[in-house]
Amino acid sequence: MKAALQNYQARMQRVLDYIDQHLDGDLDLDTLSGIAAFSKFHFHRQFMATFEVSVHRYVQLARMKRASDRLASKDGQSITEIAMDAGYDSPDAFARAFRQRLGQSPSSFRKSPDWAPWLAAFGPLKSARSKLMEKTYTYDDVTIRDVPPTPVAILEHRGDRARLNETIETFIRWRKTAGLSPETSPTFNIFRSERTPANPDDYSMDLCVGTDLPIAAHNAVMKAGTIPGGRCAVLRVDGASHNLEPAALYLYRDWLPASGEEARDFPIYCRRYINFQADGAAGDLVAELFLPLK
């Protein structure tokens, strides 16, 4: 029974992966049911039962989220180009749908994104992606490494996670200006609080980029720091690494008590990077979660 469930979930996961990789393509019911190898007469109900959102709605949300990401990144694409890529016949139709979903026009969002409505708008998308069974970790998935000290530039986020994307946008702008690309300068997140503290204003995380670039003491955005070296338990999370809570929970609840190790007085943190394929093409996002040990 467990093997059958895992096979079913793998087929559904295959559909989500296909949608994410073919947002410019024809994502009709025939195509997606074929990817899952399910009958098209039942697939839409199976999808809804699994993810609590319709296939059509999921595709709409995925395309709109990509459009919002492109607007926020200010990557040079015109709003008309972004609208066409999102599947809309005209910029006006795209603007109406965008405003209805996010409460801002595309041009206003490009200038100054309001991230709280953004998080609410795409909550169903994130929820759907989390419906499949979480990966089950084992003791052998964890390795212990001696990690060298890493000099970093730090942007501190303090306060409600609803505003985290504003901090991320500032962080990305700064590292682009400094010429510190993710390919050459590692990205770290230091988790200084729970993911969802009882008081949202208590949420605390540091966004870091590995560099020994001098940071002026009066810099209003970034500050210099170091991720200390030492022994760490390391757990790799492939693919959907937007929520590392299940992996962190495994380390604290299962691995740490069984290991006989003790946690060191530094927060758990992660390194994020792209797992490039053998042909040099960009593959999945990967996160390595580091639990500092004594």
Confidence of residue 254 (pLDDT cuts 50, 70, 90): very high
CA nearest neighbour of 66 among 12, 32, 27, 38: 27
Burial code (b: 16+ CB inside 10 Å, e: under 16) for 54-87 equals: ebeebbbbbbbbbbbebbbeeeeeebeebbbbbb
> Which pLDDT does position 195 carry in this prediction?
84
Residues 4-52 have pLDDT tens digits of 877 888 899 899 999 999 999 889 999 999 999 998 889 888 998 888 8
Structure tokens at 217: 């003491």
Q: How far is CA 176 from the centre of its chain?
A: 19
194-218 in b/e burial notation, b at 16+ Cβ within 10 A?
eeeeeeeeebbbbbbbbbeeebeee
Check residues 194 and 240 and name the one with the higher pLDDT: 194
Q: Which CATH class, in words, describes the domain spanning 139-292?
A: alpha beta
| Band of residue 280 on the pLDDT scale cut at 50, 70, 90 | very low
2-129 is classed in which CATH architecture?
Orthogonal Bundle (1.10)
Domain boundaries, given as residue ranges, for the chain = 2-129, 139-292
- Residue 278's pLDDT is 46
The 10s digit of each residue's pLDDT in 119-178 is 778 878 877 877 775 677 899 999 999 999 999 999 999 999 888 888 988 998 898 888
The string of pLDDT tens digits covering residues 95-117 is: 999 999 888 999 998 888 877 68
Q: How far apart are CA 107 and CA 164, in angstroms?
A: 21
